């Protein structure tokens, strides 16, 4: 082969193809991702991204506290630390979790690099390739990415306005076990679920715990939004109801700031041991400086009051979105009414396809995440996730107006050319756990 031929081949083929691990086969770049770079332009109202709005944090005062931290405790704060996480922040986290009825010991907590890494650690500890993970239908895109990276098979369990259906859950367990499948855990987001915004009712939580006990099912409870309740007091966490069947994941990303990348796992003792060893293999120790910085915030600032400030700000945005949808959505659309968190889940009139029309929506300067991103089985064509966390209320209203026009234009087009079949599975839309759409 001539040098020219070799060079030409090198530009077309991935020369490392023969060396990649099998688990990378499922990692794909999505065509939709290119659209999101456009969606982040200022003229586009992005209802796609799940970034918290942290502009209201007391940055000047906190900046001084962090300077003092470096001056007075920098030698420790900038050093390696414990693989489990620093004891003082684990103590503080017990206080945070008490807000949702959890009584925990600091010794049972493992600090992670955001709850995203907690998901990775838990999956690494429990799952072999081919194992089944049960998850709500739909579920968090970042978790689906992690389960996919470890070659797990995700089986979705139907949910309604009160959360995951215990009857469907029991049925799925029996069917899968009868077929000889190994179910490793149920992954659930009980509060203001990402992507639907749905909250599990108290009765559902009790039923879910009962199913887990009877069926020997481990529950992974992912709860980054729990304290961002907009209408009522926080519900008791599943972990507050049972400490043996629940592994709990928490995060400071939504109640403080995501840039520190600090989350945690609260697990039964034996599991905790495995998580610490896995964390040490992955990172030696979670970021020490971030732990000091967050502990400083919790010690010296009114973090409960700040959550109140966030709640007021997100409530105004949630209300703007619900008002905008009521005014601008065409007949036949329905949507959830979240009691907290960041997201509304929109179901389009029959025949409209959220993924197919995304390029037209972005041209009309409004963006969303198509529902297919939140299913491992190709469902979700008639759905989209709309985030109300980041744009101002005025921009949210304008975004829903633009979206309404796009939907009406789609309907007019379908009236001419016929309806698409949006109730059958599609190829899955793999967006991966990237920060712009979490
Ligand atoms: C349900 C859910 N779990 C986990 C995460 C990851 O959060 P972090 O890694 O920032 O703690 C997110 C982020 O959006 C989320 O929505």
Do 322 and 291 lie in one domain? The reply is: no
- Measured in degrees and rounded to the nearest 5, phi and psi for residue 185 equal -165, 165
Residues of the chain by 3-state class (helix, strand, coil), percent to 5: 45, 15, 40
Domain with residue 392: its CATH number is: 3.90.1150.10
- Element (H or E) spanning 92, and its range? helix 87-98
Handedness of CA 349, 197, 125, 208 (dihedral sign): negative
- Whether the Cβ atoms of residue 217 and residue 186 lie closer than 8 Å to each other: yes
| Inter-axis angle of helices 114-126 and 269-283, nearest 10 | 110
Show which of 277, 302, 327 is a domain's final residue: 302
Residue with tokens 């929506």: 361
Could you give the C-alpha distances from 43 to 318, 408, 434, in angstroms and in order?
21, 21, 22
Do 224 and 312 lie in one domain? The reply is: no
CA distance 251 to 257: 9
Could you give the C-alpha distances from 288 to 74, 84, 145, 166, in angstroms and in order?
11, 11, 27, 40
pTM for the model stands at 0.93
Beta bridge partners of residue 154, listed in sequence order: 133
Write out the two tokens for 149: 């990276």
Beta bridge partners of residue 208, listed in sequence order: none
pLDDT for res 272: 97
pLDDT for res 126: 98
Rounded mean pLDDT, 182-197:
98
46 φ/ψ sector (left φ>0, alpha ψ -120 to 50, else beta): beta
| Within-domain flag for 110 | yes
**CB of residue 195 inside a 6 A radius of ligand 1:** no
Show which of 286, 302, 318 is a domain's final residue: 302
**CB of residue 139 inside a 6 A radius of ligand 1:** no
Residue-wise pLDDT for 210-235, tens only, equals: 999 999 999 999 999 999 999 988 89
Is residue 429 scored above 80 in pLDDT? no
Rounded mean pLDDT, 232-257:
96
Instruction: Return the best residue to mutate from 187, 194, 389 for the ligand 1 pocket (most ligand atoms within 8 A of CB).
Output: 194
CA 436 – ligand 1 centroid, Å: 12
pLDDT for res 36: 73
Instruction: Return the best residue to mutate from 116, 188, 195 for the ligand 1 pocket (most ligand atoms within 8 A of CB).
Output: 116
Is residue 143 scored above 80 in pLDDT? yes
Do 138 and 250 lie in one domain? The reply is: yes
How much is the CA Rg of the chain, to the nearest whole Å? Answer: 22
Give the 3-state secondary structure of residue 249.
strand
| Inter-axis angle of helices 59-77 and 288-300, nearest 10 | 130
| Within-domain flag for 166 | yes
Indicate the pLDDT class of residue 31, thresholds 50, 70 and 90: low
| Within-domain flag for 8 | no
Do 154 and 293 lie in one domain? The reply is: yes
pLDDT for res 163: 97
- Torsion angle (degrees, nearest 10) of CA 426, 432, 437, 438: 110
CA 260 – ligand 1 centroid, Å: 13
Rounded mean pLDDT, 392-407:
98
Domain with residue 206: its CATH number is: 3.40.640.10
Question: Reading across the β-sheet that carries 219-222, which strands appear in turn?
Answer: 109-112, 263-266, 246-251, 219-222, 183-188, 132-137, 153-160, 163-164
pLDDT for res 24: 86
The chain-wide mean pLDDT, for the chain, equals 93
Residue 394 belongs to domain spanning: 20-55+306-417
Structural domains in the chain (count)? 2
Residue-wise pLDDT for 34-90, tens only, equals: 667 777 789 999 999 899 999 999 999 999 999 999 999 999 999 999 999 999 999
| Within-domain flag for 429 | no
- Whether the Cβ atoms of residue 47 and residue 399 lie closer than 8 Å to each other: yes
Give the 3-state secondary structure of residue 422.
coil
Do 292 and 343 lie in one domain? The reply is: no
Do 277 and 253 lie in one domain? The reply is: yes
| Within-domain flag for 149 | yes
């Amino acid at each position: 082969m001539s040098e020219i031929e070799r060079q030409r081949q090198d530009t077309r083929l991935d020369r490392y193809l023969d060396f990649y691990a099998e688990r990378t086969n499922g990692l794909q770049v999505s065509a939709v991702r290119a659209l999101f770079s456009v969606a982040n332009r200022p003229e586009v109202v992005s209802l796609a991204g799940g970034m918290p709005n942290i502009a209201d944090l007391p940055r000047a005062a906190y900046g001084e506290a962090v300077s003092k931290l470096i001056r007075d405790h920098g030698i420790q704060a900038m050093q390696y630390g414990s693989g489990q996480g620093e004891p003082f922040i684990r103590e503080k986290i017990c206080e945070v979790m008490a807000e949702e009825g959890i009584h925990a010991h600091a010794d049972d907590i493992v600090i992670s690099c955001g709850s995203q890494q907690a998901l990775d650690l838990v999956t690494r500890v429990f799952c072999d390739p081919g194992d089944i993970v049960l998850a709500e239908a739909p579920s968090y895109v970042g978790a689906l990415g992690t389960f996919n990276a470890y070659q797990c098979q995700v089986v979705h369990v139907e949910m309604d306005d009160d959360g995951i259906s215990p009857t469907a859950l029991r049925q799925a367990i029996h069917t899968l076990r009868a077929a000889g499948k190994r179910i490793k855990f149920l992954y659930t987001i009980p509060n203001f679920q990402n992507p639907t915004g749905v909250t599990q009712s108290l009765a559902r939580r009790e039923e879910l715990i009962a199913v887990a006990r009877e069926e020997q099912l481990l529950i992974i409870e992912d709860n980054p939004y729990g304290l961002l309740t907009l209408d009522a007091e926080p519900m008791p966490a599943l972990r507050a109801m049972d400490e043996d069947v629940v592994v709990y994941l928490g995060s400071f990303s939504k109640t403080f700031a995501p840039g520190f990348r600090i989350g945690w796992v609260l697990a039964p003792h034996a599991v905790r041991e495995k998580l610490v060893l896995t964390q040490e293999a992955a990172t030696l120790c979670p970021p020490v400086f971030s732990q000091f910085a967050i502990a400083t915030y919790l010690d010296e600032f009114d973090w409960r009051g700040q959550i109140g400030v966030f709640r007021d700000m997100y409530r105004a945005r949630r209300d703007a979105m619900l008002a905008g949808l009521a005014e601008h959505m065409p007949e036949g659309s329905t949507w959830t009414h979240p009691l907290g968190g960041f997201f509304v889940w929109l179901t389009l009139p029959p025949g409209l396809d959220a993924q197919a029309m995304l390029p037209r929506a972005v041209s009309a300067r409004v963006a969303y995440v198509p529902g297919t991103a939140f299913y491992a089985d190709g469902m979700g064509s008639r759905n989209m996730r709309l985030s109300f966390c980041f744009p101002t209320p005025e921009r949210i209203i304008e975004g829903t107006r633009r979206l309404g026009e796009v939907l009406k234009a789609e309907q007019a087009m379908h009236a001419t050319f016929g309806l698409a079949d949006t109730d059958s599975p599609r190829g899955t839309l793999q967006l991966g756990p990237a920060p712009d759409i979490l």
